[in-house]
Structure 1
Amino acid sequence: MGTHSTAPDLHVVFFPFLAHGHMIPSLDIAKLFAARGVKTTIITTPLNASMFTKAIEKTRKNTETQMEIEVFSFPSEEAGLPLGCENLEQAMAIGANNEFFNAANLLKEQLENFLVKTRPNCLVADMFFTWAADSTAKFNIPTLVFHGFSFFAQCAKEVMWRYKPYKAVSSDTEVFSLPFLPHEVKMTRLQVPESMRKGEETHFTKRTERIRELERKSYGVIVNSFYELEPDYADFLRKELGRRAWHIGPVSLCNRSIEDKAQRGRQTSIDEDECLKWLNSKKPDSVIYICFGSTGHLIAPQLHEIATALEASGQDFIWAVRGDHGQGNSEEWLPPGYEHRLQGKGLIIRGWAPQVLILEHEATGGFLTHCGWNSALEGISAGVPMVTWPTFAEQFHNEQLLTQILKVGVAVGSKKWTLKPSIEDVIKAEDIEKAVREVMVGEEGEERRRRAKKLKEMAWRAIEEGGSSYSDLSALIEELKGYHTSEKE
């Protein structure tokens, strides 16, 4: 049986966390499995289901794939959340993160009932469902963990957790190195989550410990990356840290048509034709795209500095600004007459933007990003150099990968890990302008762009038949089939 053999006898269930940054790549991964003839089911909740239905119907129509959605009811009110609060972005907007995680934990019983009924061959569980491996163990179903992190970030996080190198420095701004990694990687204590650097036991630190526990109990991890991008860290994770891991990315590249690219995630706030028309009127590599992801939060004074910097840089730009940014009147953060002055030069999209479509357009020559791994990898796959602006989660590690190791990024100078930026954390317009210029113009910028384009070629090769990610997915499917048959014997 070759890697192409269809495996309808194999049923893999996906259980993504209820946040766009987790659901979007999970849908792409499910599509990849389905394209190999594996029956796939995605578990979600009523108000998140619409994000999957259109894509699944389209996939089913165009191919013979078996893709299903299983809808669990979400216990928002039981956990003290308002009715209808079913994803993390909504919860973060009202400061109810912990209630949201508690609600997600209450899905355990529904999951176990579903597993009893369907007996799938494997569950791909999001890292935040830290109890998933205990549930699957009852039915002897292997669990694969999906973090949504790069190999590098997984290695860096583990080294930080084991060796606590930030304890060796005497101030929050003193630089320390991460021990034992293949490259010298530097950071400061400010870039470490506060509860971790203060050694406090909080919801955050307890959750991190439970995620590590889930990894220990699981069959292995699925990584949205490709071997050639971070070979030293793929090896380090497997050999030094003893993790079983399969790289199957960049998963966003399974979206080939303009429609697929435009419709990933939520309903876009701009018509894709309008967006493409604007980009088509620009020279190659002349536009910088700015987006801070689905959960990052920016305050109005910071938006004002970004607006000022973009105008001063003289670059054409597309800027996706979420509706909840800037608090209150969305125009207060824009300098007077801004959009009128920059008509044709800058396009502001209020709300969700068709990111992959924009990044892959030849006019786009730079990406100012919060360094969430989905965005970073989409930038890499599009061959676009980046201005890096991490704020929380594992984003500072992704910045280190982009700037210190791959050398396709320029740091804007974000210094502090925080979920709630304050006025002291505001990065000044001149620093933003400098980083934008560095990425968009000049000889070093060209060098960076060449490196980025090379990574893009590698990314596309990895997912083609015979490529490293294609082959790793084949190996994983074969292994799951083997697990299944050895169980029967």
Structure 2
Amino acid sequence: MTYTGRGSVRPHFVLVPMLLQGHTIPMADMACLLAERGAQVSFITTPVNAVRLAGFVADVEAACLAVRLVELRFPAAEFGLPDGCENMDMVQGKDLLLNFMEACAALREPLKAHLRHSAPCCIVSDKMQWWTGDVARELGVPRVTFNGYCGFSSLARYIINRDKVLEHVTDENKLITIQGFPTPLELTRPQCPGSLSFPGMEKIRDKIYEEELRCDGEVINSFRELETLYIESFEQMRRKKVWTIGPMCLRDSNTMAARGNKASMDEAQCLQWLDSMKPGSVIFVSFGSLACTIPQQLVELGLGLEASKKPFIWVIKAGAKFPEVEEWLADGFEERVKDRGMIIRGWAPQVMILWHQAIGGFMTHCGWNSTIEGICAGVPMITWPHFAEQFLNEKLVVDVLKTGVKVGVKGLTEWGNEQQEVMVTRDVVETSLSTLMDEGEAAEKLRVRAKDYAIKARRAFDEEGSSNNNIRLLIQEMGNTTNASG
């Protein structure tokens, strides 16, 4: 499928992701979506992050896509960061997060210099990269923000920011009614996006919001059929175009099968283990790349998994940072569950695992990437939000889509705070697993609805699917701008 806009100028999109894995991955998928349909893409990154993107680059080259990685030097030392600290997941402690954000903003001039001679038609940048608005205005091109939230969470976040809902709320347990939301919505302060803060964040947050108001539209990693009411309400309230071009991990009907065929040795071992399990019998537990669960809570979660007697794959961050967790794992736990439990330390092939027929449920932190991947796989979920907009994603899954059950966590798991108490007991973990995985009418309804949304997700990328059409429209509209100015 190629670009068919006016004239002969090939639309050149510049993509600027936030330097954080959960934000970079969907934008890498977006780069492929645009290039597969005839656009040229420059993908802005830094040297350390470029190494992480080696697999992406190999895939792009194999498919002969017009995607070019542009590496800009990251000024870590100039902003008091350790050498090589070029991704937010490498920042040690909240006190350095402002330094990291300021270092990102210092990429403004290098990016501007690079783009002066490359004739971009549009800059698509993560909403956290607010400074790209200045670059776009100086170059005289549109800036479209990439919104890593779904429509439901985007709308709630916009209302909360616009109306300054949290400004005078001091009671952490008081339920706040979100006025203007199209369906009833109540949250406590910790459950609202923006509740996670660090020194200087308010100033950055204001700049992000100001630039969102000035942008020329938004791209969302969702699809119309999933949350029509909330996407349409968001578009009407923002009075800007919203292109839903997701699920970005689902570029075509063969993508998932192809990923499975390119399995590494670790992935092959995981596949072999899954192949030995009964269909729908395994619970997959993963809390993403940034969530940091305290050791005591990890132990309690593990004991709940053990008590459930269910087969499981558990992605766990332990290692040198949490030696007590490693000691606990080695002190009998791994031996006791070895016949029905697989523990993966660090990175895991999440999409491949979720799409395996053995997976019957997904215990997730409700980050949007993980949530949309679970939806695409047709897997019901146990929701365990930690921070940011994850409590809103939980409400979408449990209350609107009705494809999940809550584990019941109400408080914020603060990033970088290792002094928190256990929020979810082993008994609650065991009960939630039984609710989701056991036989019975309620659990079956969850599974049926989850499968139905997976079908709708795939249809969004049919020839006349909503997301497929939106990608074509985005390229056409920005390409026409290029030709009109050229």
TM over 0.5: yes
Of stretches 157-166 and 229-238 in structure 1, the one that deviates more from structure 2 is 157-166
1:39-438 equivalences in 2 (<5 Å): 39-63=40-64, 65-92=65-92, 96-165=96-165, 171-192=171-192, 203-254=200-251, 256=255, 258=257, 260=259, 271-323=266-318, 327-334=322-329, 336-417=331-412, 418-419=414-415, 420=417, 422-438=419-435
**What residue number does 1:454 align with?**
452
Conservation of the 8 A alpha-carbon contact between 2:10 and 2:38: no
Where 2:44 maps in the other structure, the secondary structure is strand
Shift of 1:334: 3.2
Conservation of the 8 A alpha-carbon contact between 2:316 and 2:343: yes
Q: Which runs of 5+ in 2 are unaligned?
A: none
Residue 356 and residue 8 in structure 1: after superposition, are their counterparts in 2 closer, same or farther (change >3 A)?
A: farther
Shift of 1:167: 6.8
Shift of 1:98: 1.7
Residue 205 and residue 168 in structure 1: after superposition, are their counterparts in 2 closer, same or farther (change >3 A)?
A: closer
Where 2:49 maps in the other structure, the secondary structure is coil
Give the Cα separation in 1 of the matches to 2:59 and 2:449: 35
**What residue number does 2:465 align with?**
467
**What residue number does 1:479 align with?**
477
Give the Cα separation in 1 of the matches to 2:206 and 2:261: 37
Shift of 1:274: 0.7
Give the Cα separation in 1 of the matches to 2:193 and 2:244: 27
Conservation of the 8 A alpha-carbon contact between 2:308 and 2:433: yes
Greater relative contact order (Cα 8 A, min sep 6): structure 1 or 2? 2
Residue 333 and residue 162 in structure 1: after superposition, are their counterparts in 2 closer, same or farther (change >3 A)?
A: farther
Give the Cα separation in 2 of the matches to 1:167 and 1:337: 49
Give the Cα separation in 1 of the matches to 2:451 and 2:461: 16
Where 1:320 maps in the other structure, the secondary structure is strand
Shift of 1:425: 4.6
Q: Which runs of 5+ in 1 are unaligned?
A: none
Conservation of the 8 A alpha-carbon contact between 1:303 and 1:326: no
* CA-to-aligned-CA distance 1:111-134 (integer Å, 9 cap, x gap): 110111212111111111111111
User: What amino acid is aligned across from residue 323 of structure 2 in structure 1?
Assistant: G
Please tell me the root mean square deviation across aligned C-alpha atoms, in Å: 2.5
Residue 257 and residue 427 in structure 1: after superposition, are their counterparts in 2 closer, same or farther (change >3 A)?
A: closer
Conservation of the 8 A alpha-carbon contact between 2:250 and 2:256: no
Of stretches 88-97 and 114-123 in structure 1, the one that deviates more from structure 2 is 88-97
> When the two structures are aligned, how many residues end up with a matched partner?
480
Where 2:339 maps in the other structure, the secondary structure is coil
Shift of 1:259: 5.7
Conservation of the 8 A alpha-carbon contact between 2:173 and 2:188: yes
Conservation of the 8 A alpha-carbon contact between 1:178 and 1:185: yes
* CA-to-aligned-CA distance 1:459-479 (integer Å, 9 cap, x gap): 000012110000111111110
Shift of 1:54: 2.9
Where 2:79 maps in the other structure, the secondary structure is coil
* CA-to-aligned-CA distance 1:138-160 (integer Å, 9 cap, x gap): 11111111121111111011112
Where 2:60 maps in the other structure, the secondary structure is helix
Of stretches 351-360 and 183-192 in structure 1, the one that deviates more from structure 2 is 183-192
Conservation of the 8 A alpha-carbon contact between 2:3 and 2:39: no
Shift of 1:368: 0.7
Shift of 1:300: 0.7
Of stretches 159-168 and 404-413 in structure 1, the one that deviates more from structure 2 is 159-168
Shift of 1:409: 1.6
Give the Cα separation in 2 of the matches to 1:261 and 1:483: 39
Residue 42 and residue 260 in structure 1: after superposition, are their counterparts in 2 closer, same or farther (change >3 A)?
A: farther
Conservation of the 8 A alpha-carbon contact between 1:291 and 1:370: yes
Residue 194 and residue 114 in structure 1: after superposition, are their counterparts in 2 closer, same or farther (change >3 A)?
A: closer
Shift of 1:421: 5.4
